[in-house]
C-alpha cells in the first residue's frame, strides 16, 4: 500500500503525530511550508503590502511535488485553529489538487472536544469521505496517551484498504 502524509506542521504536535503515523504506516511524510518572515520594519511593511496584494490567491506555499493521486491512501493533517483548518492546508486544498480516492484526516488541537467543524471543512475541500479521522489534544500528545486512538485510526485505514483491494 502506497501511503503519503501531508501536514501543515505549523504546530509541533501535528508533526509529532504525523511522524508516528508515518512510521506505523510505512508512509512518506511531507510538510507544507510557508516562507519564514524576515525580521525588521522594512520586511514587515513588505509583508503587509504583499498580504494585501495576494489575499485572493493565498500565501506562498511550498508543497512537495508528488503524484498524490497515485497513492493508495493520503493522510492530511492540520492543527485546529478555532474551528478551522490551518490556512496553508486550506489554500492548497482550494487549488483542487488531484487526490487519491482514499483519504484520512488528522487534527491536533488544544481542546479535548472532537473538532467536527475542522473535519467537515476537510471533507468539503477534498470532496472525499475519509476512511478514518484522528483527533488528538495537546494533553494526549504531551502525555503520550494516544495509543488506542492511533491504533483505531490505523486499523480503519488498513481494513478499508483490504476490503477495497
Question: Which structural domains are found in the chain, ordered by start?
Answer: 3-164 (3.40.50.360)
Could you tell me the pLDDT band of residue 17, with boundaries at 50, 70 and 90?
A: very high
Range with the poorest average pLDDT among 5-14, 95-104, 151-160 = 151-160
Phi first, then psi, for residue 159 (nearest 5°) are -60, -45
Q: What is the pLDDT of residue 34?
A: 74
Q: Is the pLDDT of residue 82 over 90?
A: no
Is residue 24 exposed (0-12), middle (13-18) or buried (19+ Cβ within 10 Å)? middle
Closest CA to 35 of 22, 45, 50: 50
Q: Which residue has the cell 504536535?
A: 13
Higher-confidence residue: 25 or 34?
25
Phi, psi (rounded to 5 degrees) for 140: -60, -35
- Percent residues over pLDDT 70 in the chain: 81
User: In sequence order, what are the residues at sequence separation of 6 or more whose Cβ sits closer than 8 angstroms to the Cβ of residue 146?
Assistant: 17, 20, 136, 140
pTM of this structure: 0.82
Per-residue confidence band for 53, with pLDDT thresholds at 50, 70 and 90: very low
Between 144 and 50, the more confident residue is: 144
Residues of the chain with pLDDT > 90: what percent?
62
Euclidean distance between CA atoms 17 and 146, whole angstroms: 9
pLDDT at 1: 78
Q: Which one-letter DSSP state was computed for residue 112?
A: S
Res 97 pLDDT > 80: yes
3-state class (DSSP) for residue 36: coil
pLDDT interval class at 50 (50, 70, 90): very low
d(CA 89, CA 26): 22
Closest by CA to 103, choosing from 124, 125, 72, is: 72
Q: State pLDDT tens for residues 116-130.
A: 999 999 999 999 999
Query: Does pLDDT of 54 surpass 70?
Result: no
Amino acid at each position: 500500500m502506497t501511503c503519503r502524509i501531508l501536514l501543515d506542521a505549523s504546530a509541533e504536535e501535528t508533526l509529532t503525530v504525523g511522524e508516528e503515523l508515518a512510521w506505523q504506516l510505512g508512509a512518506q511524510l511531507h510538510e507544507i511550508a510557508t516562507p519564514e518572515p524576515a525580521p525588521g520594519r522594512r520586511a514587515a511593511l513588505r509583508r503587509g503590502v504583499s498580504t494585501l496584494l495576494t489575499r485572493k490567491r493565498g500565501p506562498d506555499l511550498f508543497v512537495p511535488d508528488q503524484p498524490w493521486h497515485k497513492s493508495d491512501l493520503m493522510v492530511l493533517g492540520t492543527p485546529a485553529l478555532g474551528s478551522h483548518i490551518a490556512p496553508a492546508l486550506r489554500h492548497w486544498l482550494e487549488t483542487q489538487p488531484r487526490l487519491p480516492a482514499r483519504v484520512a484526516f488528522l487534527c491536533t488541537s488544544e481542546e479535548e472536544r472532537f473538532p467536527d467543524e475542522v473535519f467537515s471543512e476537510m471533507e468539503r475541500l477534498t470532496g472525499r469521505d475519509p476512511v478514518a479521522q484522528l483527533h488528538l489534544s495537546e494533553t494526549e500528545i504531551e502525555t503520550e496517551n494516544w495509543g488506542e486512538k492511533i491504533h483505531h485510526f490505523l486499523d480503519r485505514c488498513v481494513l478499508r484498504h483490504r476490503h477495497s483491494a
